[in-house]
Structures are given as structure tokens and as C-alpha cells.
Amino acid sequence: MKASAWARHLALGALLLAGTLGASAATGDQMAYRWRNVVIGGGGFVPGLVFHASEKGLLYVRTDIGGAYRWDASSARWASLTDWIGAADVNLLGIDSLAVDPSDANRIYLAAGTYTADFAPNGAILRSSDRGRTFARSDLPFKLGGNELGRGNGERLAVDPHDGRVLFFGSRGAGLWRSEDRGASWSNVKSFPDAATSAGASAANAWRRQAIGIVFVEFDPANGKSGQPTPTLYAGVSTRETSLFRSTDAGRTWTAVPGQPIGLRPNHMARAGDGTFYLSYGDEPGPDSMHDGAVWKYEPAAQRWTNITPLPRGFFGWGAVAVDPRNPQLVMAATFARYDLGDELFRSRDGGAHWQPVLARSRFDNDGAPWVAAHRPHWIASIAIDPFDSDRVLFVTGYGIWASTNMLGFDQGSTVNWRFEDRGLEETVALDLISPPQGAPLLSALGDLDGFRHDDLDVAPPHFDIPQRYSNGESIDFAAHKPELIVRAGRTRNPAGGVVRAAFSIDGGRSWQAFASEPGEGEGAGSIAIAADAETVVWAPSGSKRVFLTRDFGRHWAAADGLEGGEHVLADRVDASRFYASAARSGKLYVSRDRGAHFAPIGGAFGDAARGAAGPRLYVSPAAAGLLWIAARNRALMRGDADGRITATMASITGVDALGFGKAAPGKTAPTLFVAGRRKGEQGIFRSTDEGASWQRIDDAGHRYGRIDHLVGDPRVFGRLYFGAAGRGIVYGDPVEPPCTATRNSTTTTRCGEKP
């Protein structure tokens, strides 16, 4: 998708289970849970596709913030390989490159690291000898940029086809690196030209200046012999100057390939079975923009370069090129950032001499994800042709993957059939979630895709209805006493920049109406809250110095007194006259007792608890009026009230990333508490059915999901919770119940839903 870069940037660290069922085991104070995705399908940028050439159906993909996946042909769905990554290592969820070992179908390597910014740690190579079921980790002395410019280029990581012990990796700013022990240790190839670390290898007009560096490494398996390093290999640098370099001594020394084009940046290099290479170019690395580009053919034996660009150069680039492994004359290439006319996929049957547009004669099946009908292919940064089935071609987009079923028919004049190949791959970014006590069990506000009403958690629904689909859904809330009344806020795109919008629904999110007017301040949607009786809406757009309220859905607005703007606002779930606000930077807490007209600081020990905390968040309990919780990443969880009293401290919960309330346990009245955070320093997801007196861990080492930023419990299904974070969609979990038993000769009976 055209990622809302800041939404994804701020949601760094999010990993959610996609696709396969997962269950944690019950041991001691750990409760067994089963985890599944709330089905949306795709929803994010998939920068790379890699087939294994020696085993039919073996295919991997990488995502920019949601880890990597392996295709499971037997179930026709994707299996996530990186759900084990925890909050401390959330930066590893952006996969900058992926490689398979051509001589060993069991080995896969991931170059993991999301950002090169100062706040991000160094990257790592994750290496697996069992197809990604388990990984070993090799830390690198530099950062990677799986969610930065050039992430659709590739692949930067390559395994020697003749000697699987040897790998090369092209970094963004630290040059070329080599491993001789299957990725366990790495050394810098000091002989590689300075072009890899020069200013020319950085993007000039990026939202921040980012190093792009070496974007692909390609071996030439035609020379060399098994068991010894391949003599000839190539590496491409993202620069408009001399960019393609070759080694003929297994990577010890490098020289520029003669006759190569200059003036554009290479992004992909594909080798045909006859030894010919095809390269795609753009003036920028993508994916945000390209304004020029080309496709070139290089024949090493003849030392000949030929410009085979399918269309005259225009205000767009070329972002991918691929060759059919079964036919060296069948070549495919894709335009990039052709936003005015839409991107196109081209196909040649004569090595690039002639081309035909493919998408113009295509039929798209989006039955499994109806929301996809509102989107057209863009950010086509990777094309892969199945080495065992030329009818099967896959290409990526900014929102998922398309796969053909009859590509060879296109060559005989047929229409190509494409299906949205994203079962199990979930890459949306949840920015807010609600689970009302009636109606649909879950409604969401999502980065890039607005949001969804899920009546069935296992079926992908269409987008929210009109008035308009927001490019970003950022906040959503329901009226506790009238839960069919829902409000949401988001942003839309227009040529002048983002526009903040708000809408309301009177039928539980089935249909929507725009607010009659908007305050006209702020750069983002911020947070929106609706009173328990639905009579007042309080809205705090981000970037505004004021917070606003309306009692007639936008016909009239007034500024709330006592707030500085930018606070997170919440409504009391019981008392319709109360609203609350919290300021993340200062930690100040506020309460309004007059329907949002005036706010006053919350003092006392409870008000002081948020000051100086890391990421303090205020939560409102549905159990009683004025019952509040304060959570922070470096503090114990506390319960208190708007008068400033602390009524309980959960000392065992030593840090909270997200908190949610669910249905009370059988025989109890207090809501079930769910926490994503730390218990006595141990990271995990925990639940309590006794108001925080005791806690059970409900995730496990195989289901960590990075750092969870948004979590809600289901008020109708005991034990169920929903959570979301950047890159892995929305997950819901249910307890794995013990068997239902009844013993006639004893006074003890185990009931369904109770722990024996």
C-alpha cells in the first residue's frame, strides 16, 4: 500500500499472528490459548518474492514491517515464520532481504532490521535449516532498513549456488559483506568500490535522507563447480553513476561492468537460463516515487547492452523484472509509480524485443477480500515466475500479492485470471479497536485502509461504507449505553495534503454519515470519544492546540476549556457527564464532569503516577463510573479514580504496552483484565480474572507478536481478546478449554470454561 509512513513508523514493533492456528500450552500459571487472525487479507507492502528453484511449490515472501512467510501449498495459505520475535526485538520484523540456498531446500536466510534511524538497533541475519520453523541469529554491526526507501529492491542477500557455506550481503551504508559459515559470522569485503557508501547511494529527495547502498547480489552459476565458491557474481549499487560491478574471483576483487547505462538507479537483476541478464532501473529507489526509468538487457558473452524498455520514458520508473526459468525468452517487467494511468505489467516472448501489456487484459478475483476491489495494483516491486509452472506468475503490490492461473493463455490471446493470494498473510496496522457489547464483535481503525466492521472474524469484510474511505483510520469509539452509535476519525489524501475527517454511525458501523462540519484544525485525526449516552462527542485532532466538543454531530463546535491540545480523550463507560484526557508527553491527567465543556487536572497520588512515566496511557473501566487505570511501559499497573486516589497497585505487572477489559469470568462481576507487557520483568500477554490480584500468562515463546500497542477484550465472550500492532494485522485469542466433566460420587464438578 502507499504506506502512511508515519503511522507505520510510530507503530514500529508490532507483530501479529497471520494465517495458521497457534496454541500456547498450559503450564503452571500459564493458560493455554489458541490464536487466530481476524481475517482481512494482505493490506501491506510485500517487497519481495523468492521461489526455490529445486522444489515445487516452495515460495517465500518478505514484508516491510510484518516479518516473513512461507507458502504452504497443501493448505493454499501463507505461514508466518517470525511470530516468535518479541517486543525487545521488534526492529527485526522489517525484512530487508531474503535468500534461499539453491543447493539445500531447507535453508532460508532473512536480513532483518526495520530502520536505520538513531533510535533503531543494529540488524541481524536470521538463518534457518528447517524452512523457517526455527532460526538462529547473527547480529550485524550496522543497521538495516526493511521499511525504508529501496525496500522493494533486491535481493541484497544471496547464497552461493555452488557452495552453500558462502553468502554475500549488500548493506545500505556499510558496503559488501561475506560469510563463509552459512551466515554465522560476517566480514566486510574491503575491496568493493566506494560507490556503495558514497553520497550517490543515498536518496536525494526522501522524507529523510536514507542510505540505499547495494541493492542486489547475483551469482552466475554457469561457471564454477560444486563444492567451491562460484567465481563470477555481480552486485548493483543504487546510484545514478556507475552502478553494476562484477567479480570473477569469488568476490575478492571487483570491477565495473563496461558499457553499462548511467543516469538511473538499478533495482533488480534477473538471470535467464541462456546467461542473459535483465535489469530494471528508476531515477529513485522507490517505493514512494519514481519519475524516470528503463529496462536493459545485458549479454556477458558478447559484452552487449540493449535498451529494451517497453514504453517511451515518461514520468514513472520500472520497479521489477523477471525471467521464466523454463524459457529464457519470456521476460516480464513492471512500471513503477505511474500514478496517473495506473501501473502496468508487461510481457515479452522474444527477450524484450516486443512487449504486451498484461493487466489491461486481465480479470481479478478478489472474492476472498472484497475490499481489494477499491484498489488497483501499484508498487509492483517484485515479480516471480514459478520455476515448475509457467502459468503461475506472482507480483506484489502495496496491499498484497496477485497470482495468475493461466499466464500462458495470455500469449495465445486469452484474458489472464488473477487471484488475490493472501490467505494467511495479514499486514494491516491497527491504530484503534473496539468491541461493543452488541452488534459486530469487532470494529477497527487501520493505517492505510480506514477500517472494518467484522461480523464474522474469519471472513474479510468490505471497507467501511461511505461517506468516504479514509486513507488512515486513527480513532474509533462507541457509546456505552447506546453501542449502536459509533464515531470514528481519520485522514484522507488530496493533492494539498492530508485532510482530517470524522463520521458517525447509528447502526453499529454498517453505514456512516459525515459530521455536519469539522473544527478545521489539526494535522491528524488524533482521538475521538463519545459519551455513554451518545449526547456529546469530544475530539482532539493531533496537531491542534485545542480540543473540541459537539452535541449535534458537528453542526456546532466549542473548544473544551482546560486542555492544551493533543491529549488522548476518553469517555466514561457509565457516567455520561464524564470525559477524561491524558497528555503523553507531560503525563498530565484530566477529568471533565460537565460533558466535556471544562477539564481539570487529576491530582493526588494517581495523577502523579503518570508524570515521568514512559508512554503513560489512561484507561477507563466499564465496571463503574470514575474507575480508572494508569499504565506505563516502566511502571506498575495502578487503579484509581478521578479524585486522585490510588485504590490498587499491581506490583507484579512491571510495565504495560496495552491494557484491555473483557467479559467477567463465570461467577464473577469484575471485568477480565488483559495486559500486554511485563510481569516481574517477563514480557508476555497476561490475564487476570480477580481484578489484578493474580495473573496468568496466555502467550508463549512461539507466539510473541512483537510489541502490542492496542488491545481490547470481548465483553460478550469470556476469555477472548483482540490485539493489533504494526505489520501483522489483528489477532484474536480464545482460551483452550479443559474437558467438561461431572463426577457423581463427588461434590466437585468441573464445568466448561473453568480450570480443573
Q: Which candidate, 71, 130, 94, 74, places its Cα nearest to that of 15?
A: 94
With beta carbons less than 8 A apart as the criterion, state whether 583 and 566 touch. yes
Measured CA to CA, the distance from residue 459 to residue 525 in angstroms comes to 28
442's CB contacts (< 8 A; 6+ apart) are 38, 433, 434, 435, 453, 454, 457, 722, 730, 732
Tell me what pLDDT residue 209 has. Answer: 64
Q: How far is CA 675 from the centre of its chain?
A: 22
Q: Is 64 a catalytic residue?
A: yes
User: What element of type H or E holds 674?
Assistant: strand 672-679
Q: Which amino acid is at 104?
A: D
Grid coordinates in use for 357? 501489456
User: What SS3 class is residue 120?
Assistant: coil
Judging by beta carbons within 10 Å of its beta carbon (0-12, 13-18, 19+), is residue 752 exposed, middle or buried? exposed
Specify the fold of 431-651.
Answer: Methylamine Dehydrogenase; Chain H (2.130.10)
Is the CA virtual torsion 267, 201, 189, 139 positive or negative?
negative
Measured CA to CA, the distance from residue 400 to residue 439 in angstroms comes to 29
User: Which residues does the chain have with pLDDT short of 50?
Assistant: 1-21, 24-27, 204-208, 740-756
Q: Is 181 a catalytic residue?
A: no
Tell me what pLDDT residue 521 has. Answer: 86
Domain ranges of the chain: 42-420, 431-651
Partners of residue 59 on adjacent β-strands: 51
Q: What is each CA distance from 160 to 167, 178, 276, 436, 618, in whole angstroms?
A: 6, 11, 19, 54, 53
Buried b (16+ CB within 10 A) or exposed e, 629-668: bbbbbebbbbbbbbebebeebbebbbbbbbbbbbbebeee
416-420 and 362-365 beta bridge pairing: parallel
With beta carbons less than 8 A apart as the criterion, state whether 58 and 132 touch. no
Q: What is each CA distance from 371 to 65, 365, 465, 722, in whole angstroms?
A: 21, 12, 11, 21
Tell me what pLDDT residue 737 has. Answer: 75
Measured CA to CA, the distance from residue 538 to residue 541 in angstroms comes to 10
Tell me what pLDDT residue 210 has. Answer: 80
Q: Which of 83, 96, 101, 448 is catalytic?
A: 448
With beta carbons less than 8 A apart as the criterion, state whether 615 and 630 touch. no
Asked if the domains 42-420 and 431-651 are classified in one and the same CATH topology, the answer is yes
Is the CA virtual torsion 51, 55, 57, 62 positive or negative?
negative
Measured CA to CA, the distance from residue 432 to residue 10 in angstroms comes to 13
Grid coordinates in use for 174? 556499510
Tell me what pLDDT residue 499 has. Answer: 84
Tell me what pLDDT residue 22 has. Answer: 52
Grid coordinates in use for 665? 469470568
Per CATH, the number for 42-420 is 2.130.10.10
